[in-house]
A and B are shown apart, each in its own frame.
Chain A
């Protein structure tokens, strides 16, 4: 099992450009999450999907959109990137029942110039 995979690992964008961060999990998990990590801020939830076909906003959703493509895949889109979106982005998944632990991908380091 690969667990949670994310592409790309690194990305540099110019202000105003758009891009989609991809996330996939092979653990048959129901719930998936997108976080951003900034120095001294911990991880903050951007969007999540409790189950296939549903998505909800987290703490910091402005400037982002998401798509739960199927049970395996959950993508994060930046329509018009801004320097404030420079961050490390993590995708996570959770079985959806039981003990609530989340499993994390390796992250995407995004720089917006």
Chain B
């Protein structure tokens, strides 16, 4: 079984401030982990993914995430928030082996608000 917990359904930051969105997972096997972003009235867009090649993963738009096995976490960060970062962010996990189906299990999402 596996699940994803995103701590904080809403996060607000000022423009230029650090963005930290938290994600913890549970998985019985080494996971593949993803962060997706959803802008209003749009589909989901991949921000970055962890596939065991490196624990610090860089994505698009200046975002990065660090895989910490000991903490079962995959938190998303950005050093300096921009107004255009306002969106909903989803963490997702996929089982790393066994199934070839690539099913994703999503967290409930975190709405990021950026204040001017």
Given contacts A40-B108, A42-B90, contact A100 B44 (CB under 8 A): no
Q: Is the CB of B43 within 8 A of A100?
A: no
A residues 19-66 with Cβ under 8 Å of B?
31, 33, 40-45, 48, 50, 56, 58
Interface mask (B18-59 → A, CB under 8 Å = 1, otherwise 0): 000000000000001010100001111110010100000000
Interface size bracket, A side: 20 to 34
Tell me, yes or no, whether A86 is within 8 Å of chain B by CB: no
Number of interface residues of B (CB under 8 A): 23
Q: Is the CB of B109 within 8 A of A42?
A: yes
Query: Which of the listed residues B36, B101, B107, B108 has the most CB atoms from chain A within 10 Å of its own CB?
Result: B101
A42 to B89 alpha-carbon distance, docked (Å): 10
Please give the residue numbers on chain A whose beta carbons come within 8 Å of chain B beta carbons, in ascending order: 4, 31, 33, 40-45, 48, 50, 56, 58, 90, 92, 94, 96-97, 99-107
